[in-house]
Amino acid sequence: MRNYYIAGNWKMHKTRAEAAELAKALVAELKDGKHKYLVAPSFTSLETVGAIVKGTNIRLGAQNMAAEEQGAHTGEVSVLQLKDLEVRTVILGHSERRHIYKEDDALINKKVQLALRHGLEVILCIGELLEEREAGRAETVCETQTVKGLEGVSAADLSRVVLAYEPVWAIGTGKTATPEDADAIHAYVRKVIERLYGAGAASQIVIQYGGSVKPDNAAQLMAKENIDGALVGGAALKAGTFASIAKFG
């Protein structure tokens, strides 16, 4: 069986006490899980959740970070501060960062390079808007976000990059891409990686799908040749639903 990677993005939810409760339940539910797991709580809960998942099969991730190491950047969180909390992975380029907070590919690329330079794993999110899909531009948009997001990333560092294909129209909407549509984009993006880094890297890279992943659609999505895991939002907020996605199949 492939090594699937199931990640939970808790977005701007949960107080520390609520995050602790969820993390404890997940540690118990996933202790015999066969795949790779991650939870990404809010910055404010990283320390609390980190203490709970430490030494377990669940990695600690952050949902974003600044493009600079430190300095006069009010309200931002630096890679050094994340490492201080033993964060091992950072989600970058999430569509909510791109579209609500207007992060562009150049800024995201700067963050990707900084995170990799500091030894973190990066989950780089890509995905098209509904109007881009309807205009037949889904592949081009994902290609551009991939190429620009990975600018300057060496082949060696690519081994610490995970891609997450998250069609924006499927995030939090209850509309999931069909497994076939998702797989087609994953296959396309894998070709882009092959062009940039060669066939070996393309077959190794993990490409998660995200966008309304639920217990009842996870197995069909994961069954697809090019889908190597999931980045889960809404369904990651309850231990039962996340665990049933995480233990799909």
| Residue numbers annotated as active site | 94, 166
Considering beta carbons, is residue 142 or 202 the nearer one to ligand PGA? 142
**Tokens coding 195:** 């062009």
Query: x/- binding map, residues 203-232, to ligand PGA, per CB under 6 A?
Result: -------xxxx-----------------xx
Query: x/- binding map, residues 72-111, to ligand PGA, per CB under 6 A?
Result: ----------------------------------------
One of 127, 177, 233, 241 touching ligand PGA (CB under 6 A): 233
235 within 8 A of 215, measured Cβ to Cβ: yes
* Of residues 181, 18, 166, 196, the one with CA closest to residue 93: 166
# binding residues, ligand PGA (CB under 6 A): 13
**234 touches ligand PGA by CB under 6 A:** yes
**167 touches ligand PGA by CB under 6 A:** no
CA distances to 12, 155, 207 from 204, in Å: 32, 12, 9
**123 touches ligand PGA by CB under 6 A:** no
At closest approach, how far in Å is the CB of 155 from ligand PGA? 27
**What does the chain come to in residues?**
249
Question: E-strand spans in the chain?
Answer: 5-9, 36-40, 58-62, 89-92, 121-126, 161-165, 207-210, 229-232
Considering beta carbons, is residue 97 or 197 the nearer one to ligand PGA? 97
**116 touches ligand PGA by CB under 6 A:** no
How far is 55 from 42, CA to CA, in rounded Å? 20
- Residue with structure tokens 């602790």? 20
Task: Enumerate binding residues for ligand PGA (CB under 6 A).
Answer: 9, 166, 171-172, 210-213, 231-235
